[in-house]
Amino acid sequence: MSAKANKKKSSPQPQIRNAADFRTIYVNFAQTAASPMDISLGVGEAGPTNTGTVEVEMKARLVMAPVQAKVMLGMFFQVIQQYEKQFGKIAIPDAVAAQLMAPVPGISAWEGADPTEGE
């Protein structure tokens, strides 16, 4: 057995615990940004105002190494595939899709694409 395979076998599973200030938040808005060292995901809740505009209350920002962002992309891809298999295809309204800056898996030509390919 190679040293790499042996190391994988002996790696302990992480023990996950919630921090004292852990909370679950609902989000329906996200912004992304990148620098050479990290990628960030800002999340918030968008809703209408009395003036007919939309206001976004930013709730949190996740900042991570690009490799971790790519791991999370794969995790989201897998869970969405599982969700659609169980509950049916998630339809993204054309107006929302038109606002996206880049093609994403599950929309038009990217249908069925695996975002983790090419590693």
The confidence band for 85, taking pLDDT boundaries of 50, 70 and 90, is: very high
Q: Could you tell me the sign of the dihedral formed by the alpha carbons of 84, 88, 89, 94, in that order?
A: negative
Q: Mean pLDDT of all residues in the chain?
A: 83
Token pair, residue 38, equals: 């990290």
pLDDT tens per residue across span 8-54: 567 889 999 999 999 999 999 899 999 999 999 999 998 888 998 88
Question: DSSP characters for 46-92?
Answer: EEE-TTS-EEEEEEEEEEE-HHHHHHHHHHHHHHHHHHHHHH-PPPP
What letter does residue 38 receive in the DSSP assignment? -
In the predicted model, what is the mean pLDDT of residues 66-74? 94
User: HSE of 11 in the Cβ direction (CA atoms, 13 Å)?
Assistant: 8
DSSP state of 29: E
* One-letter amino acid for residue 100 of the chain: L
Are the beta carbons of 45 and 28 closer than 8 angstroms? yes
Q: How far apart are CA 58 and CA 46, in angstroms?
A: 9
User: DSSP characters for 11-23?
Assistant: PPPPPP---TT--
Phi, psi of 15 (to 5 degrees): -95, 115
Q: Where are the domains of the chain?
A: 24-64, 66-111
- Tell if the pTM clears 0.75, that is, is over it: no
